[in-house]
Chains A and B, each alone.
Chain A
């Protein structure tokens, strides 16, 4: 039985009929066409699909669209404002914090969440904070650099 959900995504309100089993990530990608959020696994390990739900990072493959009813979701497409990159996006570019780019949307969202909770993390706190998101290209070193760069650039 389809259910109606109201979800605000990147400041736009959507009302859609969805199957109760539809995953939030498929809602974003297949229903709304927001394909910036990627799917990298099927066991909630990789974190490529991480989005902000009411300001908190969630793996959108582990949330049903019906659970997101009434919430506000931010995806990678919604981070830049007024044509200006978010400081975390810019830091990944500056510090070569990405190679193939597939984990990057989820990684950037994870870092936004991390810096929201801890604006000036130590290296150890950064590496711990990235544990839920897997990158196979960078060895994480330049991601750590990017997080530090973003922390400096962001108003605390």
Chain B
């Protein structure tokens, strides 16, 4: 290959505009005549709305109009895209409305909106709206909400249960547990997190009455889906009447996948007031009105033999969904959670039961990892609890239970993965590499010495596997064998090689910092032999990009990248046939390599891709039946998901006197298959680890008994700062995915998925002299100190 771009740590193409302030994020969009909206949100977690008086607010200078839920009662509540496995189980859907009409079920629910000349006037007028609330009893806990004395939140969901879902084999698992030599039972809480993307959400909407068309700018990870949901499920207008544009998106981590009330509200307002309207979310709103993540209470029962072989895993989880359902909320603690409970181990029997519950809290949906961090936390903590119970080294237990390289493709037991199979892996290789990096055996000696001196060191492992590259459409979708997501999950790409030899690549995925403008161009550059500088990647606008499902679930490389790769193959094929025609050679004698089509064995009898692009565009001489232009649109539906894996190791010291946990070392050996751009891969891992470590040690959303979010700002919620963190030591192994010719697996979420249990395992290892087996996250100094004090040691 003349150009080796695939696999090279190239600087990002998108960066010049980002480091100079030239990039346009949502709040940078300004239109002539644009107005500003501010939303009045419920201060109550559960209340009846008995009346809303907007008179005073309407008279405020600068205010154009004030609206309440009554003004939008013709618009249906928003859609929830999880359709509960083709109706096989109950799924009592209650979703938000653009503004609530008679009842609110969480603080932050929208009740009224002010439209004004500027944002200050809009905010001022909010305080003049008078809402008559009748407060109702409140419940916030994922499990307690199902108790008989809990207040009922929705009439259609008795005991506040939205769904009762299960996977695996209950009878076989119970039987295996009954005959196990050892059974360990434990409850773990995976606390609620607030994603804290740096760019809050926002929306600008414009309506053009003559054409009856809307243009909606929004902070989105999936503009095509947003258009589909808005038009088909809320406005009831043809999809062709709405154009959705995602400008530069400043982080997403899942929160920008969903259709939120404010986006529909802005579109409706733009029509009502006849001028463009902008809403830019404040950070306070981001805490209460944007989706949260995690929030599971889980009871684990694991069986094992005395030699460390795991015999069965039974899991019951209460998954908090919030007061109303976000777009895909119920799909996360089911499809992406229960189905990954085999982890990296050959557990012979597994059963998982999940109760999705309503509480008077904010909506819970996908947050970086989405279900898989929760599953990995359960599995990786469980392995350590088994090791502790059997007084074995955790490394030994892991080795004993690993799925082996010869076992792939591997279908986890009891069909918990619903027909999919882990693609490839060598779990022990990654483990060995990480153990070597940390020098495990000498650490254990050092740990023993330190304990004698009153210093408490701990080491924690996470030998994770995760599922990426979502997903075969027939598996994820609503069909008879599907998981019940109201979607397909193929991806798209359109390569156009212009007359000048320059390439415009449009894609259906939508990055929020992942660098697709670079990595997708690298695939094209590698395949077509066209310089990186001659390729531009365009995205984020439903006008001009092929339909795509967007960027989440670490799917963009393995699914979107494959669409780009396949499109390039079709461009090559056409270029080859055109070259044969121009060189008067037989097409079957032509080959394409390094940017040239040439006669096999005679590399100088060649046409460059640039020459062929020109010839195809000018169309003066084309083979019979060939259309002009090198242009191809490809849709790619993956045959299976991809399964990155690896070993993360955390080394901590716990201060006996203060309970403070200090991370001494953090090592990660990840196997994400082939890497398109290793620099970007490392960056994804750094960021992922940081979010996972933060869950283990610092972050946690706290609701009080009245449903007030007491961790409601960056002052009260511990988003990590630079000084909190060590320098991460990264290693890697490379096991290509056999499911796609690029060999890629995905990397967006591995760090978050792997790191949380590694840190908690390390702290529990440090605390083992105190016989402390488990503490729930976050492992704050106070919590650790109190636990040590309670042991009276």
What 10 pairs across the A-B complex have the smallest Cβ distances?
Answer: A36-B21, A102-B250, A100-B513, A101-B18, A139-B690, A45-B714, A99-B513, A139-B686, A76-B21, A35-B28
* Chain B, range 390-422, C-beta contacts under 8 Å to A: none
User: For A79, A130, A140, which residue has the most chain B Cβ atoms within 10 angstroms?
Assistant: A140
Is B56 in the interface zone, CB < 8 Å from A? Answer: no
The answer to whether A98 and B19 touch across the interface, beta carbons within 8 angstroms, is: yes
CA distance A100 to B248 in the complex (A): 8
Is B441 in the interface zone, CB < 8 Å from A? Answer: no
Q: Which chain A residue lies CB-closest to B248?
A: A101
The answer to whether A96 and B680 touch across the interface, beta carbons within 8 angstroms, is: yes
* Chain B, range 1-42, C-beta contacts under 8 Å to A: 11-12, 14-16, 18-25, 27-28, 30
What is the interface of chain A, defined by CB distance below 8 A to chain B?
Answer: 19, 21-22, 26, 29-30, 33-43, 45-46, 48, 75-77, 79-80, 85, 89, 92-94, 96, 98-105, 108, 123-124, 126-128, 130-131, 134-144
| B21 CB contact (under 8 Å) in A77, A93, A137 | A77
User: For B18, B19, B253, B283, which residue has the most chain A Cβ atoms within 10 angstroms?
Assistant: B19
A108 neighbours in B (Cβ, 8 Å): 19
Contact status of A75 and B21, CB under 8 A, knowing A93-B15, A134-B719: yes
The answer to whether B283 and A140 touch across the interface, beta carbons within 8 angstroms, is: no
The answer to whether A99 and B687 touch across the interface, beta carbons within 8 angstroms, is: yes
B343 neighbours in A (Cβ, 8 Å): none
The answer to whether A38 and B722 touch across the interface, beta carbons within 8 angstroms, is: no
Could you list some 27 contacts between A and B, CB below 8 A? A19-B120, A21-B120, A33-B30, A35-B21, A35-B27, A38-B27, A38-B250, A41-B714, A42-B284, A42-B713, A46-B198, A48-B198, A93-B12, A93-B16, A94-B11, A96-B11, A96-B682, A100-B197, A100-B199, A100-B251, A101-B18, A105-B21, A136-B196, A138-B687, A139-B725, A141-B727, A142-B683
Is B168 in the interface zone, CB < 8 Å from A? Answer: no
Please count the residue pairs between chain A and chain B whose beta carbons lie under 8 angstroms apart in the complex: 176
CB distance from B773 to the nearest CB of A (A): 30
B16 neighbours in A (Cβ, 8 Å): 93
B197 neighbours in A (Cβ, 8 Å): 100, 102, 136
Q: Which chain A residue lies CB-closest to B9?
A: A96
CA distance A45 to B200 in the complex (A): 14
Contact status of A80 and B20, CB under 8 A, knowing A41-B714, A101-B250: yes
Q: Which chain B residue lies CB-closest to A88?
A: B19
What is the size, in residues, of chain B's interface with A at 8 Å between Cβ atoms? Answer: 60
Contact status of A140 and B725, CB under 8 A, knowing A41-B283, A43-B715: yes
B714 neighbours in A (Cβ, 8 Å): 41, 43, 45-46, 134
The answer to whether B21 and A40 touch across the interface, beta carbons within 8 angstroms, is: no
CA distance A97 to B725 in the complex (A): 16
Fill in one digit per residue for B267-310: 1 if any A CB lies within 8 Å of its CB, else 0: 00000000000001011100000000000000000000000000
Contact status of A137 and B283, CB under 8 A, knowing A96-B683, A98-B19: no
The prevalent SS among residues of A at the interface is loop
CA distance A138 to B513 in the complex (A): 10
Is B249 in the interface zone, CB < 8 Å from A? Answer: yes
The answer to whether A100 and B722 touch across the interface, beta carbons within 8 angstroms, is: no
CA distance A127 to B119 in the complex (A): 35
CA distance A134 to B200 in the complex (A): 13
A30 neighbours in B (Cβ, 8 Å): 118
Is B723 in the interface zone, CB < 8 Å from A? Answer: yes
| A40 CB contact (under 8 Å) in B28, B283, B683, B690 | B283
CB distance from A93 to the nearest CB of B (A): 5
| A92 CB contact (under 8 Å) in B15, B27, B280 | B15
User: For A40, A45, A134, A141, which residue has the most chain B Cβ atoms within 10 angstroms?
Assistant: A141
Please give 20 more A-B residue pairs, beta carbons under 8 A apart, in addition to A93-B16, A99-B683: A35-B28, A36-B22, A37-B21, A40-B200, A85-B19, A93-B15, A101-B23, A102-B199, A124-B723, A127-B723, A128-B722, A130-B721, A136-B691, A136-B719, A138-B687, A139-B689, A140-B686, A142-B686, A143-B722, A144-B722
CB distance from A103 to the nearest CB of B (A): 5
CB distance from B574 to the nearest CB of A (A): 35
A92 neighbours in B (Cβ, 8 Å): 15, 19
The answer to whether A93 and B727 touch across the interface, beta carbons within 8 angstroms, is: no
A29 neighbours in B (Cβ, 8 Å): 27-28
Fill in one digit per residue for B490-513: 1 if any A CB lies within 8 Å of its CB, else 0: 000000000000000000000011
The answer to whether B18 and A38 touch across the interface, beta carbons within 8 angstroms, is: no
B719 neighbours in A (Cβ, 8 Å): 45, 134, 136
B19 neighbours in A (Cβ, 8 Å): 76, 85, 89, 92-93, 98, 101, 104-105, 108
The answer to whether B728 and A137 touch across the interface, beta carbons within 8 angstroms, is: no
Q: Which chain B residue lies CB-closest to A101?
A: B18
* Chain B, range 238-267, C-beta contacts under 8 Å to A: 248-253
CA distance A41 to B281 in the complex (A): 10
Is B679 in the interface zone, CB < 8 Å from A? Answer: yes
B728 neighbours in A (Cβ, 8 Å): 139, 141
A127 neighbours in B (Cβ, 8 Å): 722-723, 725
B514 neighbours in A (Cβ, 8 Å): 99
The answer to whether B120 and A41 touch across the interface, beta carbons within 8 angstroms, is: no
What is the interface of chain B, defined by CB distance below 8 A to chain A?
Answer: 11-12, 14-16, 18-25, 27-28, 30, 118-120, 196-200, 248-253, 280, 282-284, 512-515, 679-680, 682-684, 686-691, 713-715, 719, 721-723, 725, 727-728, 751
The answer to whether B199 and A40 touch across the interface, beta carbons within 8 angstroms, is: yes
User: For A36, A80, A128, A142, which residue has the most chain B Cβ atoms within 10 angstroms?
Assistant: A36
A136 neighbours in B (Cβ, 8 Å): 196-198, 251, 253, 687, 691, 719
B15 neighbours in A (Cβ, 8 Å): 92-93, 98, 101
A34 neighbours in B (Cβ, 8 Å): 21
B512 neighbours in A (Cβ, 8 Å): 100
The answer to whether A100 and B198 touch across the interface, beta carbons within 8 angstroms, is: yes
A40 neighbours in B (Cβ, 8 Å): 198-200, 283
B251 neighbours in A (Cβ, 8 Å): 99-100, 102, 136-137
The answer to whether A141 and B686 touch across the interface, beta carbons within 8 angstroms, is: yes
Contact status of A77 and B20, CB under 8 A, knowing A41-B714, A100-B512: yes
B283 neighbours in A (Cβ, 8 Å): 40-43, 46
Q: Which chain A residue lies CB-closest to B513?
A: A100
Q: Which chain B residue lies CB-closest to A102?
A: B250
Q: Which chain B residue lies CB-closest to A37?
A: B21
CA distance A46 to B714 in the complex (A): 8
The answer to whether A131 and B198 touch across the interface, beta carbons within 8 angstroms, is: no
B249 neighbours in A (Cβ, 8 Å): 100
CB distance from A7 to the nearest CB of B (A): 17
CB distance from B118 to the nearest CB of A (A): 8
Q: Which chain B residue lies CB-closest to A36?
A: B21
A141 neighbours in B (Cβ, 8 Å): 686, 725, 727-728
B14 neighbours in A (Cβ, 8 Å): 101
CA distance A34 to B24 in the complex (A): 11
B751 neighbours in A (Cβ, 8 Å): 139
Q: Which chain B residue lies CB-closest to A93?
A: B15
CA distance A79 to B252 in the complex (A): 28
CA distance A121 to B24 in the complex (A): 32
CB distance from B670 to the nearest CB of A (A): 14
CB distance from B556 to the nearest CB of A (A): 14
CB distance from A8 to the nearest CB of B (A): 17
A77 neighbours in B (Cβ, 8 Å): 20-22
| A93 CB contact (under 8 Å) in B11, B24, B196, B688 | B11
B715 neighbours in A (Cβ, 8 Å): 43, 45
User: For A48, A102, A134, A135, which residue has the most chain B Cβ atoms within 10 angstroms?
Assistant: A102
CA distance A39 to B280 in the complex (A): 10
CA distance A72 to B764 in the complex (A): 53
The answer to whether B18 and A98 touch across the interface, beta carbons within 8 angstroms, is: yes
CA distance A21 to B118 in the complex (A): 13
User: For A43, A75, A139, which residue has the most chain B Cβ atoms within 10 angstroms?
Assistant: A139
B198 neighbours in A (Cβ, 8 Å): 38, 40, 46, 48, 100, 102-103, 134-137
CB distance from A39 to the nearest CB of B (A): 7
Q: Which chain A residue lies CB-closest to B717?
A: A45
B284 neighbours in A (Cβ, 8 Å): 42
CA distance A126 to B20 in the complex (A): 22
